[in-house]
Structure 1
Amino acid sequence: MTSAVGDGANGKAWQGHRLRARRLGVETQHEAIVFMHRDCPVCRSEGFVARAQIELHANGRSALATLFQVTSALLTPGEVGLSEVVWRALGAEDGDEIKVKHPQPLASMSAVRAKVYGHRLELDRLRARSSMTSWPSAIRMSSWPPSSPPLQASRPTWRR
């Protein structure tokens, strides 16, 4: 089910897998959650494991979601079960083709890795965006650097 067609981000060929959408009716409040069968060929070939972040595309929309795996007959290996949050985000219908792949690494993470190896932390590199231009940087620069000292623990006061 791998394909390379010209409907990927930035006009590049899509390098991902396609599965059928299935609405599970799982309400997760604000969390984007998807489900796949553990024996799904996509999970096996891509190395998707439980709690992995995956990128989904359908109907000209995209979403980033956390994967959970099922072992029961709830889903067939060619289906992806969508929580209500993801269902609405993608504007999906039962049976729609959903494209799934690993998300692009965040560009700002290279700055974090550089800092770990002793290099100077440059704010311009932290402000870098991932290839998905609609997604904000991993680090919210509005709170960088911290403007107030950390909270100090105080001793409890007891009343009689």
Structure 2
Amino acid sequence: MLLTAALSPAVRLATDTGQNPVSMLIVIVAVPALLGLGAYLLPPFVTRRSAVTWRDVAVLCGTAALAVYAYGVLCCLRLESAYHACMIERYGRPEMPGTPPLTSNHDSLIPVSSTCTWADGRTLDFVPWVVNPAVVVLLLAAVASGAVAVRRRAEAGRRAE
């Protein structure tokens, strides 16, 4: 931290972005997981002409929830300091004379949000409002589809006996 304070603002802009390392890890893990789940789901959808099983619907909803969540986390990532990212998002420029000071910047992974708050009370969120509700709905659909799949499999097992 001492070294960072001695650097010029231009160098700090490129090196001290204040990123949450967990969000970077989520993005790094989510992309291969989504590709793997897509590769798992694609052959049954292509080869089967009948209705899609509830299990596949559950996996598809879970995959979609992971993709939307990863998009939300990706919206939280910045290539510059929080101050510069917030000022550019609100004013279009990193430095604007006569603007209210930035009072806080808060990043959260559950629910996904990255907010900037100014002294005049204005709050700006980098994550689109639809991300968190979409993740919840998709996860609920995955759980419901999985429950139906388990029930149907149990019923088929009882009929076979």
TM-score band, normalised by the shorter chain?
under 0.3
TM-score (norm 2): 0.20
TM-score (norm 1): 0.20
**Highest Rg: 1 or 2?**
2
Structure ranking higher on relative contact order (CA contacts 8 Å, 6+ apart): 2
Answer 1 or 2: which has greater strand percent.
Answer: 1
